[in-house]
Structure 1
Amino acid sequence: MLNTLHEEVIDLQDKISNHKSTNRGFNSEDLKSFSKSSVQLLNQSAIEICYLLDRGYDIKSITTFVGNHYQLTARQRTALQRSCCSTLQKDNRIKSLINDVTEKIVYIDGFNIIITLEVALSNGTLFKCRDNCIRDLAGLRGTYRLIDKTSTAIELLALTLKRLKASKVIFYLDEPVSNSINLKIAIINVFEKIGIPVSVHVVPNPDYILKDKSYIITTDSVIIDSCKGWINICPLIINRYIPNANIINFMY
């Protein structure tokens, strides 16, 4: 078993080093928007946004207000909106965090997690958020296509869950999103190859199903704030397999 996993990891490292063709979440303006000098300004913006969140203001209104004040770009505003949360939200999310999934069934917000890993493999811009999630700037908007990183992203997820000894994995994919069936097939193929029981459900609204469950793998803040318990798996995967990922860590 250990030798087999070791061989799979070596094979994955080769795949990761050869990923050069299609980049998920890459935007040329990020070089300027998230440069060292820009991040200093964004750090100040994040501090102010979190301060106002702690006083009950709405995240969208605050981001618009602070963004206009500092003349931030659309992607900078999106980064702050996804990265910031109130102190109460942060504390509650940490309290509901689950670290042990041994012999447990886990439920995965499929597009949410796979896209983040694709972005990491693409060296796209990622953010270490106030609640310790790693999030990206990629958006579905109803369209998705499998890229050369998709299979590896799924393999990294499967290997990690095998190492954590999850008993079964249940994915939920958004039915309205294009190529959800193709992604379902890819997930089943990879998980069966690695030897983890898996089922994949393509449903109209995964959020509605996931928000009432426990052992959820997602970075969606709405689901995290509603569910009974969640697993923060992206940092585990990225730190182990993609250590050179482009992660920006704001000061909150």
Structure 2
Amino acid sequence: MPKNRGKEGRDDYLFGESFMKRKIKEAVYDMSFLLERGYGEASSCELVGNRYKLNKRQQQAIKGMSAGESAVQNRKSRQRSIQEIKNQALIIDGFNQLILLESMLSEAYLFQGKDGAYRDLSTLHGTYKKVNQTLEAIDLVKDFCRENSIIKVLWVFDKPVSNSGRMKTLLNTYAEENGLNWEILLENNPDKVIAESKNIALTSDAWILDRANSWYNLIEVLIPKNYPFLVTCE
């Protein structure tokens, strides 16, 4: 089992304040400008990456942080407050939120986009592997749900991802042991299921945020104050 999630050896250099603070803000501004004018994400990222001499990992970061102004306003118009989610049902983008929490608990770099959502640099590559922080991440979700009287949680995982079945078993057992009203689904197209749900979505996936009926920014309330590895475009 991998020890931690997300952070790589050169990340302190690639995203350290002295090296990246100004460059990443300008790169995100430029890429967002291009996206707002209809340029494709891949071509915009490549153009900006070349302009600022960013490597692939830095380009991945600015891709997650960038969004056109109309997309930002669209997403924020459907973002729910903590008061609005109390006593409601939630639908969780399983791997998306779980890996984000694992990354946070591992003290990996997180990146807050122009839409306010948080993203990391972890990739599945078709396989999910538990880390030391997996159960602690699930505990955070449990505590959050209890504190806000969430009536039901629907976790949705990508069925083709290896070990998704094991995660379903783990969460079912966890929910039973803790008396939680959780349901776990494995879907071939989880993004579509989440986007079309009437429940409040917990995700930072841009495609879902552009289409979901409503969403809540879970990481925003769980990330520690003054988290040392947070990169923003403010």
What TM-score range do you get, normalising by the shorter chain? over 0.9
Map of 1:130 onto structure 2: 114
Which residue of the other structure, out of 194, 199, 211, is the alignment partner of 1:226? 211
Structure 1 unaligned spans of 5+: 1-20
CA contact (8 A) 1:105 1:168 kept: yes
Shift of 1:101: 1.9
Once residues 232 and 190 of structure 1 are traced to their aligned partners in structure 2, the CA distance between those partners, rounded to angstroms, is: 23
Map of 1:70 onto structure 2: 52
Specify the code of the residue in structure 1 equivalent to 2:34: L
Residue 239 of structure 1 aligns to a residue in which SS?
A: coil
What is the total number of aligned residue pairs between the two structures? 229
CA contact (8 A) 1:155 1:190 kept: no
Map of 2:188 onto structure 1: 204
Once residues 80 and 48 of structure 1 are traced to their aligned partners in structure 2, the CA distance between those partners, rounded to angstroms, is: 10
Once residues 38 and 104 of structure 1 are traced to their aligned partners in structure 2, the CA distance between those partners, rounded to angstroms, is: 40
Once residues 179 and 76 of structure 2 are traced to their aligned partners in structure 1, the CA distance between those partners, rounded to angstroms, is: 31
Map of 2:229 onto structure 1: 246
Once residues 147 and 67 of structure 1 are traced to their aligned partners in structure 2, the CA distance between those partners, rounded to angstroms, is: 31
Specify the code of the residue in structure 1 equivalent to 2:13: K
Which residue of the other structure, out of 152, 156, 159, is the alignment partner of 1:168? 152
Which residue of the other structure, out of 46, 55, 63, is the alignment partner of 2:28? 46
TM (normalized to structure 1)?
A: 0.86
Shift of 1:46: 1.1
* 2:176 corresponds to 1:195: no
The sequence identity of aligned pairs, in percent, is 29
CA contact (8 A) 1:212 1:227 kept: yes
Any idea what the Cα deviations from partners look like across 1:48-88, whole Å, max 9, x if unmatched? Answer: 11222222222221110010122101011010111110111
Residue 127 of structure 2 aligns to a residue in which SS?
A: coil
TM (normalized to structure 2)?
A: 0.92
Shift of 1:177: 0.9
Residue 204 of structure 2 aligns to a residue in which SS?
A: coil
Shift of 1:245: 5.4
Residue 224 of structure 2 aligns to a residue in which SS?
A: helix
Once residues 11 and 220 of structure 2 are traced to their aligned partners in structure 1, the CA distance between those partners, rounded to angstroms, is: 21
Once residues 79 and 191 of structure 1 are traced to their aligned partners in structure 2, the CA distance between those partners, rounded to angstroms, is: 34
Specify the code of the residue in structure 2 equivalent to 1:112: N
RMSD between aligned residues: 1.6
Map of 1:98 onto structure 2: 80
Once residues 98 and 133 of structure 1 are traced to their aligned partners in structure 2, the CA distance between those partners, rounded to angstroms, is: 12
Once residues 146 and 176 of structure 2 are traced to their aligned partners in structure 1, the CA distance between those partners, rounded to angstroms, is: 12
1:25 to 1:67, Cα distance in 2 relative to 1, 3 A: same
1:59 to 1:234, Cα distance in 2 relative to 1, 3 A: same
Residue 226 of structure 1 aligns to a residue in which SS?
A: coil
